[in-house]
């Protein structure tokens, strides 16, 4: 039995999907250009279907060595009503001292976002100590410490050699002495100077400014006291505490003599 051919047409629309990765932020929403290993960061953006925000769809975050290199998936999330998404990620150890590029991806349509870069920094730790806690005015003072960085884990501290450490002696917020030291192969540093010539309590501060970042580095402090000339050693040992609680030096000395009797 013969049949004639038949044709009918209908129309469909394929909507365009776009993703915009707007910024990388701290958990409080502050935009960042760098983060250190172990930091919590968030990727924020919007996915659209045509010009309408597309909620309730999966979004993945990928990381690569450049804006166009083959990336690796590091995090996933779901867009909310209006198409916005916020996806959390903890910066992995082992990524320090590099720049990585991040893109958002919609797995259902194979749509990629623009790329954003983020510098990844090693976390650093600095210590500072003095050879004594109480000095006579102008007495020789040794300031020492060490500088390390977390290489492959939060507890894998490795010496950071050949770096400049800035040192200061402060009276409240006023700098009364400043200098620098360079760390050795074991990350340690040491410098000898003279104690301030005015009696009182001081703070010794060591700072490593960091490298390659707008703001970074590490700070350590140590308290020291300068005893007035003629105060017995026994009282000199407790002088920083007496000054710290606001007891006038003359009254503190008189009270100590009364108690010794």
pLDDT in tens, 85-111: 999 999 999 998 899 999 999 999 999
pLDDT at 215: 58
Distance CA(199)–CA(252), nearest Å, equals 14
Percent of the chain with pLDDT over 90: 75
User: Identical fold at 17-121 and 124-260?
Assistant: yes
Q: What does each C-alpha distance from 56 to 10, 27, 87 come to in angstroms?
A: 29, 22, 14
Q: Which of 102, 103, 98 is nearest to 119 (CA)?
A: 98
Domain covering 124-260, topology: Immunoglobulin-like (2.60.40)
Distance CA(209)–CA(54), nearest Å, equals 44
Distance CA(36)–CA(87), nearest Å, equals 18
Residue-wise pLDDT tens digits, 167-186: 999 999 999 999 999 999 99
User: What is the residue-level pLDDT of the chain in tens, covering all 261 positions?
Assistant: 789 999 999 998 878 999 999 999 999 999 999 999 999 999 999 999 999 999 999 999 999 999 999 999 999 999 999 999 999 999 999 998 899 999 999 999 999 999 999 999 999 999 999 999 999 999 999 999 999 999 999 999 999 999 999 999 999 999 999 999 999 999 999 999 999 999 999 999 999 998 877 655 677 788 888 887 655 444 444 444 333 333 333 333 333 333 333
Q: Which residue has the tokens 């916005």?
A: 84
Tokens of 162: 């050949």
Q: How many CA atoms lie within 13 A of 99 on its CB side?
A: 9
CATH class of 17-121: mainly beta
| The model's pTM | 0.75
- Per-domain residue ranges for the chain? 17-121, 124-260
N-to-C CA span, the chain: 131
Q: Which of 213, 260, 258 is nearest to 36 (CA)?
A: 213
Residue 216's Cα: distance from chain center in Å? Answer: 6
pLDDT at 12: 86
Q: Which of 203, 147, 155, 148 is nearest to 178 (CA)?
A: 203
Distance CA(29)–CA(22), nearest Å, equals 12
Count the neighbouring beta carbons within 10 Å of the beta carbon of residue 26.
13
3-state secondary structure of 113: strand
Angle at 160 between CA 93 and CA 98, to 5 degrees: 40
Which pairs with CB-CB distance under 8 Å and at least 24 residues apart come from 176-181? 176/202, 181/143
């Amino acid at each position: 039995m013969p049949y004639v051919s038949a044709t009918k047409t209908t129309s469909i629309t394929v909507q365009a999907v776009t993703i915009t990765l707007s910024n990388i932020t701290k958990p409080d929403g502050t935009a960042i250009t760098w983060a250190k290993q172990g930091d919590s960061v968030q990727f924020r953006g919007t996915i659209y279907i045509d010009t309408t925000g597309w909620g309730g769809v999966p979004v993945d975050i990928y990381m690569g060595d450049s804006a166009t290199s083959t990336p690796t998936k590091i995090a996933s999330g779901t867009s909310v009503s209006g198409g916005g998404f916020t996806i959390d990620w903890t910066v992995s150890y082992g990524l320090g001292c590099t720049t990585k590029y991040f893109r958002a991806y919609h797995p259902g349509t194979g749509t990629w976002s623009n790329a954003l870069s983020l510098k990844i920094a090693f976390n650093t730790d600095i210590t500072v100590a003095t050879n004594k806690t109480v000095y006579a005015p102008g007495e020789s003072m040794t300031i020492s410490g060490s500088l390390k960085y977390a290489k492959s884990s939060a507890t894998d501290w490795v010496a950071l050699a050949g770096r400049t450490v800035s040192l200061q002696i402060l009276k409240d917020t006023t700098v009364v002495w400043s200098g620098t030291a360079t760390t050795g192969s074991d990350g340690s540093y040491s410098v000898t100077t003279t104690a301030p010539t005015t009696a009182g309590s001081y703070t010794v501060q060591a700072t490593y400014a960091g490298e390659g970042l707008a703001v970074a580095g590490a700070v350590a402090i140590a308290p020291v006291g300068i005893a007035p000339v003629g105060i017995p050693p026994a009282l000199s040992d407790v002088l920083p505490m007496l000054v710290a609680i606001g007891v006038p030096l003359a009254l503190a000395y008189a009270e100590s003599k009364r108690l010794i009797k």
